[in-house]
A and B are shown apart, each in its own frame.
Chain A
Amino acid sequence: GENVEQHPSTLSVQEGDSAVIKCTYSDSASNYFPWYKQELGKGPQLIIDIRSNVGEKKDQRIAVTLNKTAKHFSLHITETQPEDSAVYFCAASPTGGSQGNLIFGKGTKLSVKP
């Protein structure tokens, strides 16, 4: 089945710097890749997603890139702010799944220092 690896597990940046989180997946037929942000005591919140027919997607300070050949995708956050501090999860939608059956990475704890 699908397996998603996420790196790094922790990331500390200075306010205003950029942050990059990378994920790889194993099932070449996976076609949907969302990113979630989880703050302490809350459920994951969808922040951006990308489909396999698109190479890049941007929403203000957040962007996601997808390399289908290499089976990896990345989250880029520019001009980081202290409120970006949270745990970020990547996920993939495996073949034959309901498309709600997401396989998540283990998460990256991002700390933005003011």
Chain B
Amino acid sequence: DTGVSQNPRHKITKRGQNVTFRCDPISEHNRLYWYRQTLGQGPEFLTYFQNEAQLEKSRLLSDRFSAERPKGSFSTLEIQRTEQGDSAMYLCASSSTGGREKLFFGSGTQLSVL
């Protein structure tokens, strides 16, 4: 069990640029989640996948955000035309069907938009 892996760990970008993050879940987990966390706050749900199907999206996920999980394994989260308000820690988590409530989080990607 190698845990949930996220890359990159840190990303600095200029306002207006596009960025993409990758998440590799625990291998036998079929559910994958994206959360966003800002300083001093708890994580906020963005979206989740069961296998390759995106089943739920938060209203926090504006049309500049898109997430994919093409083969039901790794996932990518893309932010287009980044804004300073997008600066946050982006967390990925995964869970199995049997223990679906038990989320295992990665260490996150810290995004700074200048």
Interface residues of A (CB under 8 A from B): 4, 6, 32, 34, 36, 41-46, 49, 89, 91, 93, 97-107
- Contact status B41-A42, CB under 8 Å: no
A107-B40 in contact (CB<8A): yes
Segment among B11-19, B66-74, B77-85, B99-107 that sits at the interface with chain A:
B99-107
Residues on B with beta carbons closer than 8 Å to the beta carbon of A97: 56
How many chain-B residues does the 8 Å CB contact rule pick out? 25
What chain B residues lie within 8 Å of A105 (beta carbons)?
Answer: 42
**Contact, CB under 8 Å: A91 / B104:** no
| Docked complex Cα distance between A69 and B50 (Å) | 33
Given A43-B106, A46-B103, the answer on whether A106 and B42 have CB atoms closer than 8 Å is yes
A43-B101 in contact given A98-B48, A100-B31 (Cβ < 8 Å)? no
B9 to chain A, nearest CB (A): 9
Tell me whether A49 and B101 are in contact (CB under 8 A). yes
- Is A44 within 8 A of B41, CB to CB? no
Residues of B with C-beta under 8 A to A101: 45, 48, 56, 58
**CB-defined A-B contacts under 8 Å, sample of 28:** A6-B42, A34-B103, A41-B107, A43-B106, A43-B108, A44-B91, A46-B103, A49-B102, A89-B42, A89-B43, A91-B42, A98-B31, A98-B55, A98-B100, A99-B101, A100-B45, A100-B100, A100-B101, A100-B103, A101-B58, A103-B45, A104-B42, A104-B43, A104-B44, A105-B42, A106-B41, A106-B42, A107-B42
